[in-house]
Amino acid sequence: GAVVSQHPSRVICKSGTSVKIECRSLDFQATTMFWYRQFPKKSLMLMATSNEGSKATYEQGVEKDKFLINHASLTLSTLTVTSAHPEDSSFYICSARAGGAYNEQFFGPGTRLTVL
Amino acid sequence: QKEVEQDPGPLSVPEGAIVSLNCTYSNSAFQYFMWYRQYSRKGPELLMYTYSSGNKEDGRFTAQVDKSSKYISLFIRDSQPSDSATYLCAMSSGTYKYIFGTGTRLKVLA
């Protein structure tokens, strides 16, 4: 149980275009989903916390107008990278919280974004 | 000083060796300690979690937490080539926010 999927797994786009990444909890309802970014050989950095039906909470230094997050249902959150630039190229990983005493997060397989 | 420090490696060991992976941290509010395994170009997979201090064992894996020293460890016994991956420690004070280490790349040689 507790499976999280992401789509697409890999995307290549031209500079200036927008890219949407989906995160789904497949067998549980996730009131909270998280979006992380990971650069090569670097740690996962939390970008934002997404709560179903409300606005996302962004971490310091993350541009909310550039990284649009929508959490329309208890099983789906989307991250849209708007007007993507090469420096946005990274590995984007979502996770979903299924409740529990220590707020366990289940991670998706990640989406590799390459902006040309 | 980073909140969580982890040696990035790489760490190469022969098959069957005992592997010791470690993280240190500075925030005394951390109560929950996790170890994740991440294969190349994949999402992290939870291996172990520990609440507060103590040891926890699961098969070939043992997690240790020493809150007085702000030091956590993951031991892998009888390491296998399939254990080759990046191991990330993560910590939480009990809120939603996880703080991750940079990860240690492990290579187990057949």
User: Which chain B residue lies closest to A50 (C-alpha atoms)?
Assistant: B96
Is some CB atom of chain A closer than 8 A to the CB atom of B75? no
pLDDT of residue B70: 94
> Rounded to an integer, what distance in angstroms lies between the CA atom of residue B47 and that of residue B76?
11
**Residue B18, Cβ neighbours under 10 Å: how many?**
12
Among the partner-chain residues A4, A41, A46, the one whose CB lies closest to the CB of B97 is A46
Q: Indicate the SS3 state at residue B24.
A: strand
Among the partner-chain residues B4, B42, B49, the one whose CB lies closest to the CB of A110 is B42
Dig out the tokens for B5 from the structure: 């420090």
Is some CB atom of chain A closer than 8 A to the CB atom of B49? yes
> Rounded to an integer, what distance in angstroms lies between the CA atom of residue A37 and that of residue A112?
10
Provide mean pLDDT across the span A13-27: 95
Q: Per residue of chain B (110 residues), what is the pLDDT tens digit?
A: 678 999 888 999 999 999 999 999 999 999 999 999 999 888 999 999 898 888 999 999 999 999 999 999 999 999 999 999 999 999 998 777 899 999 999 999 99
Q: Indicate the SS3 state at residue B82.
A: helix
Among the listed residues B33, B44, B22, the one whose alpha carbon sits nearest the alpha carbon of residue B92: B33
Contact list in B for residue A24 (CB cut-off 8 A) is none
pLDDT of residue A98: 74
Confidence of residue A99 (pLDDT cuts 50, 70, 90): low
User: Which chain A residue lies closest to B48 (C-alpha atoms)?
Assistant: A104
* CA-based nearest distance B103→chain A, Å: 6
Contact A6, A110 (CB under 8 A): yes
The string of pLDDT tens digits covering residues A23-62 is: 999 988 888 899 999 988 788 999 999 888 888 999 999 9
Please judge whether A105 and B103 are an interchain contact, meaning their C-beta atoms are less than 8 angstroms apart: no
Among the partner-chain residues A6, A107, A112, the one whose CB lies closest to the CB of B44 is A107
Contact list in A for residue B42 (CB cut-off 8 A) is 109-110
Dig out the tokens for B63 from the structure: 């997690």
* CA-based nearest distance B101→chain A, Å: 6
Please judge whether B43 and A34 are an interchain contact, meaning their C-beta atoms are less than 8 angstroms apart: no
Among the partner-chain residues B42, B96, B102, the one whose CB lies closest to the CB of A43 is B102
